Amino acid sequence: ECVHLPRPMEIPLGAVSFQVQTSGGLRFWGNTSVEITPVVDGVPSRTIRCHYRIHLYDNIVVAARPLQPETPLTAADVRLEEREIGTKGKRFFTRIDEVLGKVTARPVTIGRALERSMIKSKVVLQPGTLVTLVASVNGVEVKMEGTTLQPGREGEIIRVRNNSSRRIIRAKVIDATTVEVV
- Contact at 8 Å (CB) between 175 and 167? no
CA distance 179 to 182: 9
The pLDDT of residue 68 is above 90: yes
Query: What band does 23 get if pLDDT is binned at 50, 70 and 90?
Result: confident
> 34: buried, middle or exposed (CB in 10 Å: 19+, 13-18, 0-12)?
middle
Q: What is the pLDDT of residue 90?
A: 84
Query: What band does 162 get if pLDDT is binned at 50, 70 and 90?
Result: very high
The pLDDT of residue 28 is above 80: no
Residue 165: what are its φ and ψ, rounded to 5°? -95, -15
The pLDDT of residue 107 is above 80: yes
**Span 114-125, mean pLDDT?**
93
- pTM, two decimals, is 0.65
Amino acid identity for residue 137 in this structure:
V
User: Higher pLDDT residue, 71 or 4?
Assistant: 71
